[in-house]
Structure 1
Amino acid sequence: MASLVRHMTIDCADAYGLGSFWAEALDSPLADDDHPGDEEALIESPGATLLFVAVPERKAASVKNRVHLDLQPQDRTRDEEIERLLALGATLVADHRRADGTGWATLADPEGNEFCVERSAAERAAAGRQ
């Protein structure tokens, strides 16, 4: 039998702090036994399980992630989701949205890890594209 991905692990400076941002972003709680100062924090969300692990090295600011998350809003538009994530502490890295409604935006979480926000399934269906 092949291996299964148990969770995506994200190295960070503050596991609980970054985990808290992503818990809000994904509307999924941190594990009950996660607390400020812990070296690990876990989020089990319907789309993926994320494990945040504190490491001493900081992310190099000028280096693009080799792996990143693509988020698809479930109950709001892409643009509404981008605004919500910015209010939570994300920053806009690159805007690839087009006038015809296609495209995505690249954001960074509070520790500089890039992720993308795509159109919702409803927006794709309304445009006749998946």
Structure 2
Amino acid sequence: MTSTIRHITVDSADAHALATFWSRVLDLPVHEDDRPGDEEVLIEGAGLLFVTVPDAKTVKNPVHLDLQPQDRTRDAEVERLLTLGATPVGDRRGEDGTGWAVLADPEGNEFCVERSAGERTP
């Protein structure tokens, strides 16, 4: 028998606050039993589990998420995420429309926003 990935766990200073940010990014709910102050908070349907830990982030994450917008362009999604509290880290978007944007969530975890499927179609 093989294993399966049950959750992708993200260490955080405030599990509920960070899960709420990502819940809004992904338009998926935080588990109905999770409340502010909980040390573990799950985003339903994404398998993302946020856990409060005492250690602050000190280095770049060795793993990050790559997002692909489903109903808007990459650039429109970047703008939406900035209004939710993301911060720009790097811009790898090319003049020809290729590339991606690097953002960070409110706790400094980096993630990328790629082109939508529609933008990839010639």
Judge same fold: TM > 0.5, yes or no: yes
**Match 2:109 to one of 106, 113, 117:** 113
In 2: Cα distance, 1:123 partner to 1:51 partner: 30
Instruction: Name the structure 2 match of 1:94.
Output: 90
Query: How do residues 13-92 of structure 1 correspond to structure 2 at under 5 angstroms?
Result: 13-45=13-45, 48-60=46-58, 63-92=59-88
Question: Identity across aligned pairs (percent)?
Answer: 69
| 3-state DSSP of counterpart to 1:59 | coil
The amino acid across from 2:76 in the alignment is E
The amino acid across from 1:88 in the alignment is L
State the 1:44 CA deviation: 2.1
The amino acid across from 1:95 in the alignment is D
In 1: Cα distance, 2:82 partner to 2:94 partner: 19
In 1: Cα distance, 2:61 partner to 2:100 partner: 17
Tell me the alpha carbon deviations over residues 66-85 of structure 1, each in whole angstroms, 9 at most, x when there is no partner: 00000000000000000000
Moved over 6 A (4+): none
Tell me the alpha carbon deviations over residues 35-70 of structure 1, each in whole angstroms, 9 at most, x when there is no partner: 11000110023xx3100000001101xx22100000
In 2: Cα distance, 1:86 partner to 1:3 partner: 36
The amino acid across from 1:112 in the alignment is G
Aligned residues: 122
State the 1:22 CA deviation: 0.2
TM-score by length of 2: 0.97
TM-score by length of 1: 0.92
